[in-house]
Amino acid sequence: MLQDVGDVTNPAWRLITMRAISFGTIINAILFFTALSFERERVARGILTSCVPSVVAVIYFQFIQ
């Protein structure tokens, strides 16, 4: 495990963060398609919009950092 909780330069933090963000995005995708199946386009649009920062964060951690 991580020796120092404040050490965000540790590669384990990157892995943990990416997995948590990915898990949240999967949950949002399930909610998105559920909202579409109940013809709640406005709710689905809000869920889709809330996924954008998560996708940007995953791209940042995977390719930029």
Extract the tokens encoding 3: 């020796």
Which CA distances in Å does 60 have to 27, 33, 43, 64?
A: 20, 26, 27, 5
What is the 8-class DSSP label of residue 38?
A: T
Q: Which amino acid is at 21?
A: I
Q: Whole-prediction pTM value?
A: 0.73
- Read off the pLDDT band of 34 (50, 70, 90): very high
Extract the tokens encoding 33: 């398609």
User: pLDDT for 1-17, tens place per residue?
Assistant: 555 556 667 788 888 88
For residues 61 and 18, the answer to whether their CB atoms sit within 8 Å is: yes
